[in-house]
Structure 1
Amino acid sequence: MITLANAPVSYGVFEMDAEEGVELPGADELASMIAAAGYRGIDSGPIGMLGRGEELRDRLRRHGLALAGGFVNLPLSDADAFAATLPEYRDAMAFFAEGAELHPDTPPRPTLADAGSDARRANPGGGAGLSLDAHGWDTLARNVSSAVEIAAEYGLRPTFHHHACTHVETPDEIDELLARTEIGLTFDTGHLIIGGGDPLEGLRRWSGRIDHLHIKDVRTAVLADVVARKAGMRQVWTEGAFVPLGTGDLDVAAVMEQILSSGFEGWLVVEQDVIPQVGDEPGQPQAHQVLNRDALTPWFGTESAA
């Protein structure tokens, strides 16, 4: 079964600061809008934003949502920094476990990502001399394995997000991660394009390891311009690189047919990462998420599971 979710980042709510003068929705408003748009799950946004313990479960119940997962950023290639983040990481796993109690059949997937480096953050798409050396890969793989073991203590099975401006971004880097670890892959159409990959080829290439999906449509000309300028990820979000499904350059139909033919089961999270701007049309994020859900109707009907 595939279950559809959306994410607070589609509304501009994530770890990045909002633009001055822009008011972002709170937890209840987010949950209400995502449910109203036709999704059955919600990603966490910043850990704890949706509440903790019974507050979290009550919010999910009231809006008829399950917790789908959430982004967990870790300094995986730095042994000392990783060790220092473990208390915070354990707290994040406790949060996901609190949400998992409500819907044990569709548990949340903690979505791990490497924190990257200043050089990677300045160079979306990577480039010569920016990849980890053998020692760095050894460290990253060891820390990923430790993170998986810790998550298991909380009854959770994390997944790994190849992410722009990190050390696991390009197709070759994804191959290296998968060769060195046993963790499943969160496949993200937009971030793969930034990293120089092709979504259809990637879906075929890593089919046996993909266990979580982030789907977003992209305007490749905007991405290419940001990468060429080495402008950083904030410009990807503020300049509107990610657009509603079917309005960008992603072959949505081909991607969905490939996903369904692969036998994938799990969460499919619609993520249209944005940083809303002063002057945006009122209600634009919600209108876009309704459009995204409507674009999936040929494969999921008006229900959000298949």
Structure 2
Amino acid sequence: MKATVAGAPVSYGVFEMTPEGATTVSADDMLGSLADAGYGGVDLGPVGFLGRGRELRDRLAHFDLELAGGWVQLPLSEDEAFEASLPSLYDALRVFADAAEAGPGRLPLPTLADDGSLARRANPGRGSEVDSLEQGAWDRLIANTERAAEIVRSAGFEPTFHHHAGTFVESPDEIDRFLADVGVDLTLDTGHLLIAGGDPVDAVSRWGSRINHLHLKDVDRAELARVLATGGGMAEVWMSGAFVAFGQGDLDLESVMTTVEANGFDGWVVVEQDVLNAPDVAIDAFRASRGSDQQTNRAALRRWA
């Protein structure tokens, strides 16, 4: 299989939702942990976390890692808010360009995503019930996705779109509708698909020709169901430990990867084990636990990549 396996800062508690003032694993410590585990790349994480320009290139080169992609969240269904968010897209693209100057073997994929709504983020997996999107807003979402994709392509990169719990492209039906309406391929995220009631094995068969980026997560579905049943939103899901190391949850990894391989997938496979660490976390123990899980995750994928 031609895929390249990458890790992600979110597996070490570093992402846009990390609590203000929380102690986090440093960029160098995280990259060292991923390199030791045998990963070939890393996702961007919050823009600037891995550095910019020469600092970014030198850091990646030191650990023999390439940049796999990175999250760019945009309020796609609201024209005014979308326009106001475009500087964040251009900023992220400058960082992708910084990394690409090193001439990587595989370019990173800017990973576009919708912003969703407060109601949807508070009710992951039930978005269409709590906050359905009327046709005009859907049309804006499609048009703004196409515009964002054009900006990405003009910068020399191929975009990908991430369906995500708590957004307006969450459920399998919403993903079907999105792919029918827009010329941007899909980041399939097994964890977020499970939250939305989808089947990752079916998804790989159903959307295989449109999947150009893969985010792999294993999920403890009993813990996930407990959090959702008590009214938990995405923050509570991330804090609960529902995302577990491969083999400790309910993802049929073998069937997913065998189908991905049969489809001839040739791209980045990004391992994500989302965790939201508490502000008072004991960082050394936390880092050790995160590193151990990423060793387990990388080992589980060796038969395919």
Q: TM-score range by the shorter chain?
A: over 0.9
Residue matched to 2:42: 42
Residue matched to 2:276: 275
Equivalences for residues 11-22 of structure 1 within 5 A: 11-18=12-19
Counterpart of 1:157, as a letter, is E
2:265 is paired with a residue of what secondary structure? coil
TM-score, normalising length from structure 2?
Answer: 0.94
Counterpart of 1:115, as a letter, is D
Alpha carbons 2:72, 2:112 under 8 Å: kept: yes
Residue matched to 1:141: 142
Quote the offset at 1:89 in angstroms: 1.2
% identical aligned pairs: 53
Query: Quick one: distance in 2 between partners of 1:295 and 1:17?
Result: 27
Query: Quick one: distance in 1 between partners of 2:234 and 2:294?
Result: 22
Structure 1: gaps spanning 5 or more residues: 301-306
1:249 is paired with a residue of what secondary structure? coil
Residue matched to 1:155: 156
Quote the offset at 1:70 in angstroms: 0.7
Residue matched to 1:192: 193
Residue matched to 2:290: 285
Counterpart of 1:291, as a letter, is T
Query: Quick one: distance in 2 between partners of 1:118 and 1:250?
Result: 28
Structure 2: gaps spanning 5 or more residues: none
2:129 is paired with a residue of what secondary structure? coil
Instruction: Decide whether aligned partners of structure 1 residues 297 and 178 sit closer, same or farther in structure 2, where only a CA change above 3 A counts.
Output: same
Alpha carbons 1:124, 1:230 under 8 Å: kept: no
Quote the offset at 1:298 in angstroms: 2.5
Residue matched to 1:59: 59
Equivalences for residues 156-305 of structure 1 within 5 A: 156-277=157-278, 278=281, 281-282=285-286, 283-300=288-305
Query: Quick one: distance in 2 between partners of 1:131 and 1:26?
Result: 40
Query: Quick one: distance in 1 between partners of 2:61 and 2:132?
Result: 44
After TM superposition, the structure 1 stretch with the greater mean CA deviation from structure 2, 224-233 or 201-210, is 224-233
Query: Quick one: distance in 2 between partners of 1:131 and 1:6?
Result: 34
Quote the offset at 1:158 in angstroms: 1.1
2:212 is paired with a residue of what secondary structure? strand
Aligned length: 299
Query: Quick one: distance in 2 between partners of 1:3 and 1:272?
Result: 17
Query: Quick one: distance in 2 between partners of 1:45 and 1:104?
Result: 18
1:208 is paired with a residue of what secondary structure? helix
